[in-house]
Amino acid sequence: MLKKEHRRKIITFVLFAVLIVGIFYFRYDIAKRDYNADILIKNATILTLNEHSEIIYNGWIVIQGEKIIEVGKGKHDYKSKKIVDAKGKVVMPGLVNTHAHVAMAPFRGVDDGLNFSQWISNINKYEQVVTEEDVYWSSLLGEVEMIRSGTTTYNDMYFYTENIIQSIEKTGIRAVIDVPFDLENSDLKIEEDFLLKYDRISTVTFSIAPNPLIEFSEEKLKKIKKIVDENNLIVHLHIAEDWSERNRFVERYNRTPIEMLSDSGLFNSKIVLAHSVNFTDDEIDYLSEYKDVGISFNPKSNYKLLGYTAPIKRMIEKKLTIGIGTDGVGSSNSLDMFDQMNFIAFVSKGCQEEGSFCDDQSGIDPEKIIRMATIDGAESLGLENEIGSIEEGKKADLIFVDFSRIGLTPSYNIYSSLVYNTDGSDVTDSIINGKIIMENKKISRVDEIYIVKKVGDIFEKIKNLQ
Ligand SMILES: [Zn+2]
C-alpha cells in the first residue's frame, strides 16, 4: 500500500513539474516571439550628430540586426532580447579614424626624438623584419586599443592586407583596407578575386593607396583611376607631408602633386588626402571645388615629426570635408581619437603662422571637432550614408562615454567636455555593426594578455635593430 501511495505521489509530482515547466516554456516562447529588437539602449543622453546635431536626453535607441531602427524618447513598443541601461552615459556615434597604419603598433615610442626624414628612414629599416604573422598580432593590438578608446571605423594603409583582414574578423571592428597590387607590374592590376573573396565581411570596404605617390607617373595614376571606377573603391593618399615633396615632384614630373592628381582625374573620385600639411592657399581653394575630396587631419603625428600641422582653420573656412586621423603609433604614439581631439582644441587656439599675432583665440568649435571625428570623417571616406551619426537606417556603430567620473564633473557643454576633458579610457561600451564588441570595458572576443605577449616578441626583434 505504502509503495503504491509513494508511486502516486511521485507521478503527481512529475505531472505537476511538467505542467509548471510547460507553462514557463510556453510563456517564454510567446515572449520570444514578441521580440522586435535585438538591443534596446535606454536612459541615454544621445548625441545624434545628425544634420542639426540634435541631442536627446533620457532617450532610447533600438537596434535590429546591423542597423539602428529607431531613436526616440518617452514611451515605445519595443521588446528587446537585450536591454542596456546607459544612465549617466553619453551615447554617441563611434569615432572614425580616417588615416592609420594600425599594424605599426610595435613601433610605439621608437625613436621619439627624431625628425621626419631620420624617423622615416629608421622605420623603413625596422619594417624589413616584420612578418605576416607580426602584422596580424600588431593589428589586433591596434584594433583593441581603438575599440577601447571609442573608434569603431578606421581607414588603414599597410602591407600584408590579408592578415589585417583576419584581425578585423576577430575583433569585429569596421575598416577601409587598401587592396594589394603590384607596382612593378605595368598592368597595375589588383589581385584577381581579392574583392570577391572578402565580400562576405560586412565591416570591410576597400581603398587603393598609391604610396609613395612620387613613384606614380600620370600614366600609372590614370590606371589607378580606372581601377577605382571599375571596383567602386576610394583612393587613400599620403600627400604634402613635408616641403620637399613639392620640389621632388616638380623635378621629376615638372608638376606639383596636386597638378598630377588633377591631370589624372582622381579628384573626381572619392579620395582622402592624409596629412595635407603643406598645401598653399591656392591649392586649398582649388581642392574645395571638388566635393569628393576629403582631408585627413593628423595633428599629433605632424606636430611631432614636423613641428606644425595642416592649415585646418582655412580648410574649415573653405568648407572642405575634414576627418581626423591618428596615423601610426610610431609617430602619434596613440590611436586614441579623443587624444587627437583634445590636441586640436588646444592647438587651434594658437597662431597657425610662425610669428603672427594671435588675435583669434576662439579655436575650433568643439562641436565641429566632434563632427570631424564622426560624421565628417565618415563623409571623407564615402561612408556618410552608413555610419557617423545615430539615425534610423544607419549601421549601429556607437559608443558609450561615462560622464559620471570626477574628471568630467561638472559638464557645461557635452561637446566641450568630450573634447577638453575626455580620454579614451572613459569609453565603456562599443557596438559595431549591431554587435556588442565591448561591454562595461570587457572585450570578450580576444585574449588581450596573449596579444600583448605576441607584440612584446616583435618589440624584442625591433629593439635589436636599434
Ligand atoms: Zn601615414
- What CATH number does the domain containing 22 carry? 2.30.40
> What is the Å distance from ligand 1's center to 278 Cα?
15
Cell of 146: 581603438
Task: State the maximum Cα–Cα separation within the chain, in Å, rounded to a whole number.
Answer: 110
Q: Return the closest-CA partner of residue 80 out of 32, 48, 141, 17.
A: 32
Cβ count within 10 A of residue 292:
17
| 179 plus 45 within the same structural domain | no
DSSP conformation class of 108: T
Q: Are residues 267 and 319 in the same domain?
A: yes
Q: Which letter, b or e, does each residue of 58-67 get, where b requires 16 or more Cβ atoms within 10 Å of its Cβ? A: ebbbbbbebb
Provide the pLDDT for residue 359: 64
Q: Give residue 239 CA to ligand 1 midpoint distance, Å.
A: 9
| Assigned C-alpha cell, 303 | 606636430
What DSSP designation does 103 have? G
Q: Are residues 156 and 275 in the same domain?
A: yes
> How many Å lie between the centroid of ligand 1 and the Cα of residue 387?
23
84 with 132, same domain: the answer is: no
Q: Grid coordinates 534596446 are at which residue?
A: 40
Range of the domain at 61: 2-91
Mapped onto helix, strand or coil, the DSSP state of residue 230 is helix
CATH number of the domain bearing residue 112 = 3.20.20.140
Give the Å distance between the CA of 21 and the centre of ligand 1: 60
Domain stop point among 47, 72, 91 = 91
Judge whether 385 and 56 are in contact, CB under 8 Å: no
One domain, residues 331 and 272: yes
For the chain, how many structural domains are there in total? 2
Using CA atoms, how far apart are residues 98 and 19, in angstroms rounded to an integer? Answer: 58
Helical residues (DSSP H) of 53-192, grouped into ranges: 116-127, 132-148, 161-171
DSSP notation for 440-457: TTB-TTS-HHHHHHHHHH
Ligand 1 centroid to residue 124 C-alpha, Å? 13
CA 56–ligand 1 middle distance (angstroms): 36
Residues, CB within 5 angstroms of ligand 1 (ion): 327
* 3-state secondary structure (DSSP) of residue 431: strand
Is the distance from CB of 138 to CB of 458 less than 8 angstroms? yes
**In this structure, are 81 and 189 located in the same domain?**
no
16 and 140 together in one domain: no
Question: In 3D, which of 81, 45, 47, 49 has the Cα closest to residue 62?
Answer: 81
What single-letter DSSP state applies at residue 76? -
Beta bridge partners of 72: 60
Say yes or no: 215 and 308 in one domain: yes
Task: Give me the tens of pLDDT residue by residue for the chain, a chain 466 residues long.
Answer: 556 777 787 777 777 777 776 666 555 554 555 889 999 999 999 999 999 999 999 999 999 999 999 999 999 999 999 999 999 999 999 999 999 999 999 999 999 988 888 988 999 999 999 999 999 999 999 999 999 999 999 999 999 999 999 999 999 999 999 999 876 666 677 877 889 999 899 999 999 999 999 999 999 999 999 999 999 999 999 999 888 899 999 999 999 999 999 999 999 999 999 999 999 999 999 999 999 999 999 999 999 988 888 999 999 999 999 999 999 999 999 999 999 999 999 988 876 555 555 666 778 999 999 999 999 999 999 999 999 999 999 999 999 999 999 999 999 999 999 999 999 999 999 999 999 999 999 999 999 999 999 999 999 999 988 8
Mark whether 133 and 81 lie in a shared domain. Answer: no
Spacing, Cα 241 to ligand 1 middle (Å): 9
Q: Tell whether 207 is covered by a domain.
A: yes
